[in-house]
Structure formats: C-alpha cells, structure tokens
Amino acid sequence: MNSTSPIGQPLPRVDGRLKVTGQAKYAAEFEIPGLLHGSVVNSTIARGRVRRIDTTAAEAVAGVVLVLTHENRPPVASYDEPYQDDDAADGSPFRPLYNDRVLYSGQPLALVVAESLELARYAGSLVRIEYDVEPHQTDLAAVREQAHPAPEEVPSRGDFEAAYRGAPLQIDHEYGTPIEHHNPMEPHASTVHYQPGDELIIYDKTQGVQNCMRYVEGVFGLEGKVQVRSPFVGGAFGSGLRPQYQLPLAVMAALKLKRSVRVVLKRQQMFTFGYRPRTLQRLAIGFSPNGRLEALHHGSLGQTSRFEDFTEHEVEWSGALYACDNVQLEYKLGSLDVYTPIDMRAPGAAIGVYALEAAMDEVAYAAAIDPLQLRLRNYTGINGNQGKPYSSKELRACYEQGAERFGWSRRPLEARSMRDGHELIGWGMATGVWEAMQMPASAKACLAADGRLIVSSATADIGTGTYTVMTQIAASALGLPMDRVEFRLGDSRFAQAPLEGGSATVSSVGSAVHQACVGLREKILDAAQQSPASPFTGASLDDVAFEDGELVLKRDPARRVPLAQLIQTSGTLEAEASVKPGDEREKYATGTHSAIFVEVRVDEALGTVRVTRVVSAVAAGKVINPKTAASQILGGVVWGIGMALHEETWTDHRLGRYMNHNLAEYHVPVNADIHDIDVFFVEEQDSVVNDLGSKGVGEIGIVGVAAAVANAIYHATGKRVRDLPITPDKLL
C-alpha cells in the first residue's frame, strides 16, 4: 500500500454518475433487434394437477407468437436428472413447465410470448387453466409434529438437561418470525439474445453470472455456448443467488423460436419464488443469580418446500456467541406446499440472533442485571461450536464505545420507568454477529497501452459498492489515481468469482484483485529492467515503490519512470491471480461483530412505536471504504427496524396463497419511520482473515437490530411481544 492509498478513504461510488443519470443498464434494458417479450401465467391453486390449459384465446391475439406450456416446451437436457445450481438446497430443485403437477400457489404454468410486453400480458390474462385440486398445507404450526431434522447437523456440547434442571434460574419461551420477501427495486428479468447455432448471450438479474451460465449450460445441454452478463443489479438481498424461473423460461422460448426473448417478472410475481422462511424458535436458558449462563437450548422449526430441504444457520449462533458449557442445538424442518425459501440478508442470523438476543434480555430482567453487563459477564473470545479462538474480536470495544455514544449508563433498569407526555420511552440493546468468510476467487489485471489499469472478475455489484472498493484496492496496489483504474465485473467470461453473498466479496474477490496487481507489479518491474542502462537493474520489489502512476526507486526517488511511458515500450502487461482461504485460518474462528443500542417511543394509547435513535458499533477488520460500508450498515439497520415493526408476508392458509403480494400492503419502513442512526466502526486488526485484513459488512448491519428494538419496546412498556413484527394490535 502506498502512502496516498485510497484504501480506508470514504470515496464516492465510481458508478454513481452512471446510475443517477440513467446510463447504467439493467437486465431488462438491453435493446436487441427483433426482441420478443414473455409474460408468465401462474397457478391459482397450491396443490394438484393441471387437467387442461386452454390457450386458444391467447393465441388468437394478433402479435402473439407462442404460448409455452409443459405440453409443448422444447426438450430439456437435465429435466430427468435435475441440475443443481451453486446455491441449491438438498433435494430436487424446481423445474418450471416440467409436467402437470402443481407444487405451490404461484407456480409458473405457461409463458405467453408476443411482439410487445403489453400484448404478452394481455394475452396471458386469456389463458384458462382447469385443475384437479388436492388438499394442501401451508401453515408451519400445523405440521409441527411431522417435522424432520434438517440435513445439516448442528453442534451441541455438555449436558443441557442436567445443567438446566440444576440451574437456580430458568426461562423457557418461544419466539416467532414471519415469512419475509426480498422486494428489491429491480424485478427479476432475463434478456436472452439468441444467435445462430443456439449460442446465447443472456442479460440476467443475478448475484452470480457464472452460476447462471453453468445452470443454463447444464439444464439445456449448451456447454460452451452461453455467456451471462449482469453489469448492474438493482438490489437482490439474496434473491439473485439462485437462478429464478424467468431465466429457464426465457431460454426455453428462445431455443424453441430461434429468436431473442425477454421475460420480466411483475411485482406480484416477485412473491412466487424464494423468501425468508417462517420460524418457531424455542430458547430455554438456565443461569445463576449473577447472570452466568449454565445451560442453553436453542431449537428452531423452519418451513421448507416438499421438494427441497432448505437449511439455514439459525441456531449455531447461540452456541458461538456466549460462554456456556452446556449447549443443546436443534433444527427441524416442516415441509409445506410452498416454494423453497432462499437466503435473505444475513440468512439464519437475522432470525436466529433475534430469538437469542430477545431471550438474553429476558435473562437480564430475571436476574435483575443490566442487559449490557449480562453480555459482558458471558463474553468469550472462543467460538464454542468450534472450540477455536477468534482471529480478532473487538466486540467488547463495540459494547463500550457504543454504550458511551448512546448514553447507556443513564438507563434505569426498571421497565415503564421513562416517559415523555403520552409516550413511553425505552432503551434496548443487542449483539450482532456474522461470519467473516473467504471463498476461492480469481481476478485479472491489465496495464493497457494508454497507461490505464483494467482489472476484472466475474463478481457482481448488487448495490454494495463492489465497483468502488475493487477500484480502490487496485489503485492502491499500483499507486495509481482512481480515475486511471477501471474495474469490470458481471460477465461470465471474466476470471472465476463466487456468488456475491455472505459478505464475502471483498474478502474473496478483493484479495484476488490485490494479488493480481501484485503479480502485475512484478511484470512492470521486469519490463523496466529490460534496458541495460535501467536504474532498476538488480532491484527487487522491496526496492521499488509505485506512486502517483510512476515506478520509483526507493533509495533514489529521483529515479522514476511513468507507467504509461513504460507500457509504450513494453506493450500491454497482464497478470492473473487466484486466491483461497489460507491454512492459518483453520486455527481460528472468524467473525464480524456489532453492538446495537436503540431508543423507542411508544404511544401508550395507540400502541404505535417510533424508533427515534439507533447506535450501531461494528467491528469489521480493515474497512476499505468507510462511506460505502457505513451505507451498508445504515441499510441493514433500516431493514432491522422493518423486521421488528413492519415486514410480514400474510398467507391465507385456506387458499395457500400470499395475500399482500405488492408494495402497498407488504409494509416496509419509509422515510417518516427512520430517525437518527449513528453508525461507526471500531478499530480492529486481523492478519488472518485475508491479505487485506477486511471483513464484510453487507449482512452484519441487520443482525441484532430487531432484537434491540423488541428489547427497547419491553423496557418502554413492560410488555414482551415475542412474535415479529411487533404491531400496535399486539402491544394493545
């Protein structure tokens, strides 16, 4: 890193101008000559068979080219042996238009393809479907007794039963979380540019272009014929990790018609695939009068589809976050006539830590101990599930600095003890935790003829700032100004990259970008040494510096050469690097941690809740860009407030159908709901997690927020609501 390194600087987004001026193109915005448009027709029942599909009226509409159903779809290579994508759950993945079976309400049953989107949607309304209806079940509580263990084992330790029976104090409660849907601004869309010989260029809304490429190649037997591009994504939050059904439908239509086809889902159809699953979680904790945890049981029942077992890390956090010798963890699944859930921001942790941290608040009140002191009393530097120390864990600093900024020391212990007129005031807090993951990744760096540095990797930017931080990492490595560096992403032809999820992109792809630039430094120095009279003859990389676009000899800084001049002599220079987690990581547990402090005001007569202050203190290693990182945390806090007070997908179990599948009735926080949010990062050094010492921040922002809000509401009102969201009817 050079002395003027952009790493650690709060720089604006390099793609910001493109976005605010409308020049950034998304999956449904690429123009292709002769493009056809598809509209999906979805099932209106939750379970049964299609007896008959009448497409006559739709096909009679002028401009309609095709109505695709299970009866006339083209052959699909992998439908007898379903192809698993990179984010698939255990089981048999959903195959659109596979046969006449209806597996869930909203299942795609037909695709109308027409000359325009309006025609396609109108014709889709004319398709008539007759069903043989079968009894369905969509209520998780109703299948509690039929639940089966999740396929992924969860660790337990000690003797919970004996320790719990012998504990002086005990709590035992159930906490519920509802179905939530991602609802990114950009709907899912796929534009398939058909070319002769069944070669396809696909523009897709995805968090992993290479995953989609492999999926299409595998499903349709098109190896080597598919390129997927996704330069910009208008939010995803996990909904783009798996290929959604509009992609294979668009490919089917393109292959059958030998023409280019676009399929865009409507907002209502954004509720017809993955979501955050409903859970019922039990926390039973035995503890001493001074608040020491002696026994902890965390069991979760989560919903899944009948064709896949979707498993989250919901309960493991309870075995990792606090010191306790006797821990029993259990995770079961209830199979329902629904689509499979999918990862949603901080999957597992957002809901699992909610239950844990709400239960810890109940422990604090039962032991008459300040909730922050309770957490400090049970603090540990070891991940109990793994029996390993953390590579770094500045959670204690998060507690201390966050409490200071919030003014926590002035908090009275008693509930219903603070009031301002007709409003009850409450202060609550919670801990946040997420994994600090790294996955194998590659990147390519090229010093072009004009002296610009072009770096590429097949990663994504779903709004997190990937373009910007990768540009910062590359600029720092070669001592170039930011405007002389271009980072390219979202193309399956680029160097291998993992799915953009799990807060692992900077750790994984960022490390590859850094290493590729280090490799390029070697080639630049080698090129500079080609002349016999070169001042760099015999110099090693330790003897030189890269500053202000120049190669500099450290012992004689007057001896320097501009990289642009060097490249004119040597020609374009390139380097590619692949990285994976180092062996040193195996000795440690790794994680990102936070402490969240919340103030609420509750109208005593109306039961309405305002979250008036939030302080979020985060320990995330080396923060590459504090501006974009803080923005991620802010967004997570807003979502956590929504999770606590607003978000819930309602199911009419008589129909097995979602009732509020729109943005009018699916409630999310708006500007008027959000007040003062103070985000800051505590100092944390970590030489183990990756070469950059950086941990991701995309997920950690939401974890613990809902619990902190719920705990603040209890402190304000003295009423404990354990089922999210906490709405006025529950408080009254």
DSSP 245-277: THHHHHHHHHHHHTS-EEEE--TGGGGSS--BP
Is 699 a catalytic site residue?
yes
Q: Residue holding tokens 């908090």?
A: 411
The answer to whether 696 touches 502, Cβ cutoff 8 Å, is yes
Sign (positive or negative) of CA dihedral 529, 531, 533, 534:
negative
> In the beta sheet, which residues pair with residue 149?
332
d(CA 180, CA 270): 12
Total number of residues shown for the chain: 732
Q: Residue holding tokens 């952009």?
A: 6
The answer to whether 628 touches 469, Cβ cutoff 8 Å, is yes
DSSP category for residue 83: P
> Which pair of structure tokens corresponds to residue 541?
């990389």
d(CA 3, CA 479): 9
Residue from 241, 233, 461, 458 nearest 347 by CA: 241
The answer to whether 588 touches 688, Cβ cutoff 8 Å, is yes
> Which pair of structure tokens corresponds to residue 553?
């000899």
Contacts of 380 (CB under 8 A, 6+ apart): 322, 323
The catalytic residue among 180, 312, 599, 699 is 699
Q: Residue holding tokens 């030998």?
A: 258
Contacts of 593 (CB under 8 A, 6+ apart): 393, 394, 395, 398, 431, 432, 433, 618, 619, 700
How crowded is the C-beta side of 174, counted as CA atoms within 13 Å?
6
H/E stretch holding 308 reads strand 308-309
d(CA 458, CA 75): 30
d(CA 688, CA 436): 11
Rounded (10°) CA dihedral 537, 540, 543, 549: 80
d(CA 322, CA 315): 13
d(CA 227, CA 494): 10
Cα 180 to Cα 279, 365, 452, 503, 603: the distances in Å are 11, 30, 44, 20, 26
Q: What is the side-by-side order of every strand in the sheet holding 293-305?
A: 148-149, 327-336, 293-305, 279-287, 169-177
Q: Which amino acid, 264?
A: V
Between 705-717 and 349-366, two packed helices, what is the crossing angle to 10 degrees?
30
Cis peptide before 151 (omega within 30 of 0): no
DSSP category for residue 336: E
The answer to whether 580 touches 516, Cβ cutoff 8 Å, is no
**Phi/psi of residue 346, each to 5°?**
55, 55
d(CA 231, CA 239): 17
Active-site annotation, residues: 699
